[in-house]
Structure 1
Amino acid sequence: MPVTVPHDLPARAILEAEKIFVMSDERAAHQDIRPMRIAILNLMPTKITTETQLLRLLSNSPLQIEITLLHMASHVSRTTSSEHLEAFYSTFDDVAGQYFDGMIITGAPIERLDFEDVDYWPEMTRILDWTATNVQSTLHVCWSAQAALYRHYGVGKHEVPQKISGVFAHRLTGARSPILTGFDDDFLAPHSRHTDVNVGDVEATDEVEVLAVSDDAGLYLAATTDGRRVFVTGHPEYDAGTLAAEFLRDSAQDASIPVPANYFPGDDRGAAPRNRWRGHGHLLYANWLNHCVYQETPFEPARPEVDQA
């Protein structure tokens, strides 16, 4: 089934060229079906690239999905045109009274800042708190995973001596969760961050289960037992060349930035990287849509029943 997006969204043409079924919002209006409503709070500077990456993963499902793109009202983007944001994005205030079946909050290259020093942190806390009553399941990626763990459970982050960048091997912890359905015991996924959280601190919450870890990259996947909050510290949505582009950007400013680990074939930065995590990324997002969103959300688009305590 298709992902429903605005007719002129740049990602639509890219995905259609890949033979991915994307439906315009005009055509979707004539469908007699209740689509899953998914909000994407896009904090990444390369918003069009991130839109495309996430929509590609969300399309790998039999569900019809209606996408709402969100950006921060309290932050001025320097890398995405105001025309693009005005045409395709809403702000939190525009949707605060609505209910969404699922929400994805992306990462952002600001992890070295203390949370309270981020210019949009007050707005971010409003959104994180709002998800408890207005979203059935929220998928937090990279920086937003750390931000949500901090906001909801008081789990802090710490800066690592060297940026965690590359493609790393992960293993399942043995915890049982529907989101792990079909996972290999060992799998690969990319990371790109300067900070980390301690696995023990996450386990100590007694509310969040650690589902997958890496010996080299630390925590990767965690979730509450009810699936309403999912935390992914890596970037399974990345294309083959995304880490290379980030490395070129960062190394132009800091020559000490390490080459992404286990990424370039033969560690030759001139060689074209190969995507070795695509299958895992599609499975993770499909499982989240099915087990955490579709199987749990009420049919009527009203607020879910949650424990207000």
Structure 2
Amino acid sequence: MKILCINARKGMGDQIIFLPYIHAISQKFKTPVSLLAKDNSRAKDLLDEDRHVNEVISLKKEMDGIGGIFKLTSELKKRAFDKIFIFNSSLRYNLIARLAGIKSIYQYPFSFGKKDNMVISAKIFSEDITNKVVSTEPNLIINDKENNIDKNFKHVVFGISASGKTKIWNINNYIKLGQEISKKIKCKFYIAAGPNDIELINKFKNSDIGKNSISFEKLSIKEILPIIKNCDCYIGNDTGFAHISVALKIKSLVIFMDTPIKVYGRYAPAIMSTVEPEGEHESTVHDTLGADAVSFDEVLNKSIEILN
């Protein structure tokens, strides 16, 4: 049996959050699935060692729009899928599935709107298919690698970047946080950011705690994953690296400033702790714009608690 799942959302975080539901479908039908995903979700790198996914099909830009219907149909038709699971209610993907000759089509109902909590929608959808309770906690599967991490230190991933400026806690706060943590606990810091964040990276590396830091900007996702897996915790913005850390089962403190905490901050409560801007309680959403209202002391105290 050949099965295709479609998760067309952007970004690593959204891809990670949908892992429990992809895994549940694979387990239900006792076969690895193919996944159609956008390149910026980094699904190929994230799922390279995942036994539940045997192929990631790239949802390229030329497959969008009316013209893209025929290109995507051709791509799917040659693979002769038996079943398709579409994690949205798009008529376009339904039409493509039919044109590709896929007999069994499972898709979100139209009652699932864009404003719904995507975690709850995916959970309901997958539970209806599998007839069993599906945990919302993701599990990112990677093979064990040789671990040369120095046990004399605590190893902390600092997620200093994000997909938008309103989601970023000021870099000076992270420098100060590293300084304060280092007064109490011997630490090495791993700067989770990419080449586009070089200004933030250099500011951290040029600070007085920079000598105890390593940056990810020149590493691939596949190189980064085993490093994060062997760290003690993640502290940082709500970004893809936060959700990778959660899925690798390391304790994570995620700072929410301008994204919906009820969607991105409550799917793995045993692993993820959160901080919101002062005055917010389970209420941070897009356009909260709360970066300047995050309590430094709260972040510091929760960081020490996690590290201890």
Report the TM-score range of the alignment, normalised by the length of the smaller protein.
Answer: 0.3 to 0.5
More strand by share: 1
More helix by share: 2
Which structure has the larger Rg over C-alpha atoms? 2
Q: State the TM-score, normalized to the length of structure 1.
A: 0.33
Q: State the TM-score, normalized to the length of structure 2.
A: 0.33
